[in-house]
A and B are shown apart, each in its own frame.
Chain A
């Protein structure tokens, strides 16, 4: 498809487990972003990649959260020792560039993560 693809669309797991969320950006988009959206809130920035490197990870809430983008395309958001407060929709977006350009971000449909 032509859009940002996120898998799985839904993930239910128990507290304490490890989860991986995958994002496949639009082909050719060098910038990739992860956001978290809680119920009744707007998306909240987590981390941004320019190519393979994390250019800004200031939004990651703690060291249980980690993200990689080893080949500059697909990205994986990893959450260790999940807690009930991690339950949210995790959104991924991609764009042609980041700072200094006005290219829009294109969002995927998100992964709805539920921690029981």
Chain B
């Protein structure tokens, strides 16, 4: 059982479309992070959210942490082919020994 459930698992869209990726759990997290990973490379941190209800923006990417700190979303506006990659959410929870636990990821493919 995945501690962090990500959906969808795979998303293929046209350039210019908007999309949202979800990360859900039944556990409360003290912080939640989003990473992007490309083939043959390690994950690269995009953002960390720590406060319930927090919204952070990074250019065309908007990240939100749920009020109860159990879920998060990543919204991309006007997707570009360069956004293609594996998006991973990861969280730190006392319930899991304060170790960073990852979701299985969402594979995003943006076609030009």
- Report A74-116 CB contacts with B as 1/0, cut-off 8 Å: 0000000000000000010100001100101111111000000
Instruction: Report the bound CA distance from A105 to B101 in whole Å.
Output: 12
Could you say which residues of chain B place their CB within 8 Å of the CB of A4? 42
Instruction: Report the bound CA distance from A59 to B101 in whole Å.
Output: 11
Closest-CB distance, A31 to chain B (whole angstroms): 11
Closest-CB distance, B7 to chain A (whole angstroms): 14
Tally of A-B residue pairs with Cβ under 8 A? 50
> Which B positions have Cβ atoms within 8 angstroms of A?
4, 31, 33, 40-45, 48, 50, 88, 90, 97-105
Q: Does A58 contact B (CB under 8 A)?
A: yes
> Which A positions have Cβ atoms within 8 angstroms of B?
4, 33, 40-45, 48, 56, 58-59, 91, 93, 98-99, 102, 104-110
Instruction: Report the bound CA distance from A95 to B31 in whole Å.
Output: 16
- Report whether B102 and A102 are in contact in the complex, using a CB–CB cutoff of 8 Å: no
Say whether chain B's binding surface is mostly helix, strand, loop, or mixed.
loop
| A105 nearest in chain B by CB position | B100
Could you say which residues of chain B place their CB within 8 Å of the CB of A48? 99
Instruction: Report the bound CA distance from A44 to B54 in whole Å.
Output: 26
Could you say which residues of chain B place their CB within 8 Å of the CB of A44? 102
Instruction: Report the bound CA distance from A110 to B38 in whole Å.
Output: 12
Q: Given A40-B104, A42-B104, decide whether A104 and B48 contact each other with a Cβ distance below 8 A.
A: yes
- Report whether B40 and A43 are in contact in the complex, using a CB–CB cutoff of 8 Å: no
Instruction: Report the bound CA distance from A52 to B4 in whole Å.
Output: 31
Instruction: Report the bound CA distance from A108 to B103 in whole Å.
Output: 19
| B96 nearest in chain A by CB position | A45
- Report whether B41 and A56 are in contact in the complex, using a CB–CB cutoff of 8 Å: no
- Report whether A107 and B97 are in contact in the complex, using a CB–CB cutoff of 8 Å: no
- Report whether B40 and A42 are in contact in the complex, using a CB–CB cutoff of 8 Å: no
- Report whether B43 and A43 are in contact in the complex, using a CB–CB cutoff of 8 Å: yes
CB contact between A102 and one of B41, B50, B98 (< 8 Å): that residue: B50
Q: Which residue among B40, B42, B102 has the maximum number of chain A CB atoms within 10 Å of its CB?
A: B42
- Report whether B42 and A45 are in contact in the complex, using a CB–CB cutoff of 8 Å: no
